[in-house]
Structure formats: C-alpha cells, structure tokens
Amino acid sequence: MRKDIVILLKTLAIGLELPALVLAGVLAGLLIGRRLSPIVAFILSLAGGLLGLAAGTLLFLKLVRYIVR
C-alpha cells in the first residue's frame, strides 16, 4: 500500500517536472543565444530542451528502477 502511494507521487512529480525541465532548457538557450544571433539562439534552445528531456528521462528511469525493486 505504501509503495503504491510513493510510486503514484513520484509519477506525478515526474509528470510535472519533465515539461518544466524542457521549458527551462529552451528558455535558457534563448536567453543566452539572443545576443549572438537567431541561429545560435535556436541551436542553444534546442540543446537546452534536449538536456531537459534527458534529465526527465533519467528521473523516469530512476522511478522504474524503484518500481522493479
């Protein structure tokens, strides 16, 4: 019972955190690259979004490892 609640809360947290990580990466790339050029801003925002997605994926895999244990 307790493990089910923990899994539910962790899933909810990852579901809320993943879009925030991607958005933060995109915005950071735009803010850093804004002064350089539009192409650099686009590339940095894309890279920031991918880093946010990777961080969210690692959190998800950590949750899967917890469920399997």
Per-residue tens of pLDDT for the chain, all 69 residues: 677 777 777 777 777 777 888 888 888 888 888 888 888 888 888 888 888 888 888 888 887 887 777
At 55 the pLDDT is 84
At 56 the pLDDT is 81
Say if pTM beats, i.e. exceeds, 0.75: no
Widest Cα–Cα separation across the chain: 54
Cα(5)–Cα(61) distance, rounded to whole angstroms? 18
| CA quadruple 54, 58, 63, 66: dihedral, nearest 10 | 170
At 67 the pLDDT is 78
Cα(69)–Cα(63) distance, rounded to whole angstroms? 10
